[in-house]
Structure 1
């Protein structure tokens, strides 16, 4: 089971939506390679609360399990974790590889280049698992490309939901700007407060 990224107690991901980057994704710019239905990749990005809705699907072509999904953002973001809900009966992706700030990744490059990070995935049908990033490497992200090279044995790969959690850079800049209105702020105390309020890496 994944756990909440906040440093306070919350049950059943009550706080998850607060850190969702869904609203920062440029949905119109989302594309996928090897999708059966053109444009279907856009449908798997939805609010956190809808992650168990399996009515939308990004499916690879039959007899070819690979998928590449390109995800642009409306502002630079910091990504702390990724949640992927795949299909049943072996259709879930079994591995995920990430590339940052590249809009030219095709299958040849995806297999030849070293990703920023890669994960072995589980069959996360109910959206209960999330995969932490190497957070220091996922700063200032303008676009994210996810490569799903394989699945759990089915002829095609199905993805019903992709969720990203983290922070938008612009939001952080606004928060810092607001501190100028504080009366005689103590820099050391303010720094500690900011650190305690940041999400923690799983």
Structure 2
């Protein structure tokens, strides 16, 4: 397979592949080198892992959050996130009380027959499901390469300390601003004869701004009413005025 769009990373990445792709539902590749990221930009602590959900998930729901591993566990391969009845998966990722500006998404997948190929992204639309996903125009389309962990499906190792299977997909930062909810749709895989997709790791990088819940207090200055002044003066002198 031609990986002519693959570029080596010369920053603090622990992974060795990076890609820039297409947005607005159009295919294409950027020839401008993306802005590097680092582990300090990890949004792991901002993901509401207790409320991450997926449609067409084979695993117990409690295992889904484990694909968002902390850096010290990034080499772990289990549990393998698998699909239920075909090669499509929708993942809903909410953020905790934050507006997020996404820079990139890092994936560690299977590198053979269960490797995702086309991945579509939306922001702030938790209503997306398999009934309407084909009707909604994605904000960005990722073409994931045939890169990942190679193993016998019956003998998945507990972990593999190798950086070569991590792929960072750079996102248009001006598009993915103000994100409170990210929807990830794996549309297909590289091997058309298979009906599964295996995921080992998902990391989101960017910046976040906490949402404030302080009440907004507005102060209105009313125009003075001359009659009010007369009434106050009358009260102070022991009388009461009803007007002129």
TM over 0.5: yes
Match of 2:59 in 1: 37
- Matched ranges for 1:1-202 at <5 A: 1=7, 3=9, 9-10=11-12, 12=14, 16-39=38-61, 40-62=63-85, 64-74=86-96, 75-125=98-148, 126-153=164-191, 154-170=194-210
List structure 1 runs of 4+ shifted beyond 4 angstroms. Answer: none
What are the ranges of 5 or more consecutive residues in structure 1 without an aligned counterpart? 174-202
User: For the Cα contact (< 8 Å) 2:122–2:138, is it kept in 1?
Assistant: yes
How far, CA to CA, are the matches of 1:35 and 1:71 in structure 2?
14
Compare CA radii of gyration and give the structure with the larger one: 2
Seen in structure 2, the aligned counterparts of structure 1 residues 12 and 106 have a Cα distance that, compared at 3 Å, is closer
Shift, 1:49, TM fit: 4.3
What are the ranges of 5 or more consecutive residues in structure 2 without an aligned counterpart? 1-6, 16-36, 149-163, 213-244
How far, CA to CA, are the matches of 2:183 and 2:13 in structure 1?
31
TM-score, L = length of structure 2: 0.62
Shift, 1:73, TM fit: 0.3
Shift, 1:103, TM fit: 1.1
TM-score, L = length of structure 1: 0.75
How far, CA to CA, are the matches of 2:8 and 2:88 in structure 1?
26
In the comparison of the two structures, how many residue pairs are matched? 166
Higher helix share: 1
